[in-house]
Amino acid sequence: MPIFQVIVLAVVQGLTEFLPISSTAHLYLTSWLLGWPTETLQFDIMLHLGTLAAILIYFFHDWMQIVGQGFGLRVGYDQDLRTNRELLWLLAVATVPVGVFGLLFNKQAETIWRTPWVMGGMLIGIGVLMWIAEVVGRRVRDLGSVNVVDSVVVGLAQALAIVPGCSRSGITISAGLFRNLTREAAARLAFLLSAPAIGGAAAKTLWDMHKQHALHGLVTAPFAVGVVVSAITGCMAIAWFLHYLRRGSLRCFVYYRVIFGIIVLALAFIRRPA
């Protein structure tokens, strides 16, 4: 893959993975419109590792505190996390649904569901759901109040993110809002929860590459550039989005999703993907 293509797609991935606008749809449509082939295991693992690195780097102190507290240690200074010492195990519970759904429907998600029709419909549908969550959510709870019911609800929502066009952050933040979390708390929970799911997907991709004797394809300059660029842009997107949610709403993203979804469906009428 040419280095320019790698950089463009890594930037798209880093920015759109953490905003509630669907990275899958943006990557697919970018490659489709520009005529770029992207469906390779090397490409998938590059984006997975870059995204995972962004989460681990940005939330490094949170993860140290969460893991330490999960094993009974007194570490970290975040008051919300200190209040909820069981968060590590709640995240583990919430990760189960996406693991099960991924095993059951991964092939469909990578083939028959990866069409502009499905993506356009999901962009609009989840956008409407985000709007409803904004309206009905009372936004009175912080991360320290997350309980088992919250973890199950948000975990089931994350499982739906395997459908292209859904947006992991969009559906999980919406679920958090329905559970009356604040916008920022819902986003932090969504990002923390995405780490084991993305890590699992990366591990599966590495195993698939091992079975195909293709791990040598990772030792290339474009691959390293892609991981670094997606990680850097991902950290920037997380920082900006969390800062924005302290005062702003999801409505602008709702409008963006609906308009973008309509454009995707219109393009599907005009031309067919290669």
Q: How far apart are CA 219 and CA 197, in angstroms?
A: 24
- DSSP bridge pairs for 141: 181
Question: Quick one: how far is CA 156 from the chain centroid?
Answer: 14
Q: Give dist(CA 241, CA 229) in Å, integer.
A: 18
Which residues in the chain come in under a pLDDT of 50?
Answer: 273-274
Q: What are phi and psi of 27, to 5 degrees?
A: -65, -45
Q: What is the pLDDT of residue 220?
A: 85
Helices (H), 84-182: 87-110, 116-136, 148-159, 168-178
Task: Output the furthest CA–CA distance in the chain (Å, rounded).
Answer: 59
Tell me what pLDDT residue 160 has: 95
pLDDT at 222 (0 to 100): 86
Residue 272 has a pLDDT of 58
CA 46/CA 228 separation, integer angstroms: 9
Alpha carbons 226 and 237: distance in angstroms, whole number: 16
Domain boundaries, the chain: 3-270
Cα 97–Cα 252–Cα 119 angle in degrees, nearest 5: 45
Give the pLDDT confidence score for residue 96 in this predicted structure.
96
Enumerate the H helices of 139-178 as residue ranges: 148-159, 168-178
Structure tokens at 214: 């293709």
- For residues 73 and 226, the answer to whether their CB atoms sit within 8 Å is no
DSSP letter string over 182-229?
-HHHHHHHHHHHHHHHHHHHHHHHHHHHHHTT-GGGGSSHHHHHHHHH
Name the β-bridge partners of 181: 141
C-beta atoms surrounding 248 within 10 Å: 12
Q: First-to-last CA distance in the chain? A: 18
What CA–CA distance (Å, rounded) separates 18 from 169? 6
**CA distances, 114 to each of 31, 62, 272 (Å):** 13, 34, 13
